[in-house]
Amino acid sequence: MIGSRSEEGFSPGGILGNARRLRGLSIADVSHALKLAPRQVEAIEADAFDQLRGLTFARGFVRNYARYLGIDPEPLLDAIVADSDSLQVDLSPISNARGDMPTAGSSLGSLLPAGITLVVLIALALAGWYFDWFRVPVPAAPVEKIAAVSPPIRDEAVTPVPAKAVEPVQLPAAPPAPAALPEPAVAPPSAAAPEPPAPEPASTATQPPAPGRQRLAFAFEQDSWVEIKDARGRTLHSQLHKAGSADDVDIGGTPPYALVVGNAAQVKLRYKDKSVDLSPFIKISVARFSLQ
């Protein structure tokens, strides 16, 4: 079996399986998203890459699976190559090199296996190109989980108030003047001066966290899944954060807090106004650590 490891959970398949379970996805969900059979997904998570029609197909499946879960695929692919290189090939010398020279009739028959081998190699190369260029896009995290953490802000449409038409002022009728004097002309009512625009409200400063809550300030250079649980095992935060975002996460619960951060090498964290170095906790591309 290619890709098996002595330490459970740190093989390519084990990492993918753990990441799938953290996101609450079933094997059927992954099978439907990647257009694979459930047995193929199970073979990937069991590191049974010899059941996936060759190493080229296995690498393509692992690459698409990792990107679907928001994990950097390169360390997993390197691990597969390292395991495949460690396989020992038994090459025994030919005991008897003597034989009859091939004739013109037999040389044509010997070309047939070589032609079949060439066709198989071309098919494998095309399969590798297919899985490298036609990649499965990374879907957004489930809507219900994101809504449970941070309810969406509903934009309320502002209905414009129609401007009131200015009614002309009705002036009282002037008393009759002597015939010798001309009637004075009545000046039309002056148009109402436009009202000055209302001043824009000043932007409010960032509010500190509420009493009894802690703030974790994240900055993401790549897409990353973040999960936070308190000492009682309650999930306080579980969300996929987009690349380029800077998100503040306010949490309550009972410390210490257990964190799982995907793509941790591309994530920066501040806690209690101090920078937290994630590099000592990274294995493959996932960091697991706790904060007091």
Q: What is the pLDDT of residue 109?
A: 54
Radius of gyration of the chain (CA): 36
Q: How far is CA 106 from the centre of its chain?
A: 58
DSSP state of 99: -
- Return d(Cα 22, Cα 145) in angstroms, integer: 12
Closest to 235 measured CA to CA, from 144, 155, 126: 144
Tokens of 204: 């409010």
Fold of 214-291: Immunoglobulin-like (2.60.40)
Q: Are 14 and 22 in contact (CB under 8 A)?
A: no
Which helix (H) or strand (E) segment holds residue 229: the answer is strand 224-229
Would you state the pLDDT for residue 104?
A: 47
In the chain, what is the straight-line distance between the N-terminal and C-terminal CA atoms, in Å?
42
- Give the bridge partners for 286, in sequence order: 262, 283
Whole-angstrom Cα distance, residue 259 to residue 291? 8
Q: Which helix or strand (DSSP H or E) is residue 237 part of?
A: strand 235-241
Tens place of pLDDT per residue across the chain (292 aa): 444 443 445 789 999 999 999 999 999 999 999 999 999 999 999 999 888 888 889 999 999 999 999 999 999 998 887 665 544 434 344 444 444 444 544 445 556 767 788 777 887 777 665 555 445 455 454 444 434 444 444 544 444 444 444 454 454 444 444 444 445 444 444 444 445 554 443 333 467 888 879 999 999 999 999 999 999 999 999 999 999 999 999 998 899 999 999 999 999 999 999 999 999 999 989 999 999 9
Token pair of 169, please?
Answer: 């002022």
* The domain made up of 1-86+118-139 is a member of CATH 3.40.50.2300: no
The answer to whether residues 127 and 57 touch, using CB atoms and an 8 Å cutoff, is yes
CA atoms within 13 A of residue 270's CA, in its CB half-sphere: 8
- Confidence at residue 83, expressed as pLDDT on a 0 to 100 scale: 60
Chain centroid to CA 196: 47
Contact in structure between 59 and 131 (CB atoms under 8 Å): yes
* Cβ atoms of 63 and 135 closer than 8 Å: yes
Contact 3, 13 (CB under 8 A): yes
Among the listed residues 257, 252, 256, the one whose alpha carbon sits nearest the alpha carbon of residue 226:
257
Q: Report domain extents, the chain.
A: 1-86+118-139, 214-291
How much is the pLDDT for 211?
Answer: 81
CB count in 10 Å sphere of residue 189: 12
Looking up tokens 């890709």, which residue turns up?
Answer: 3
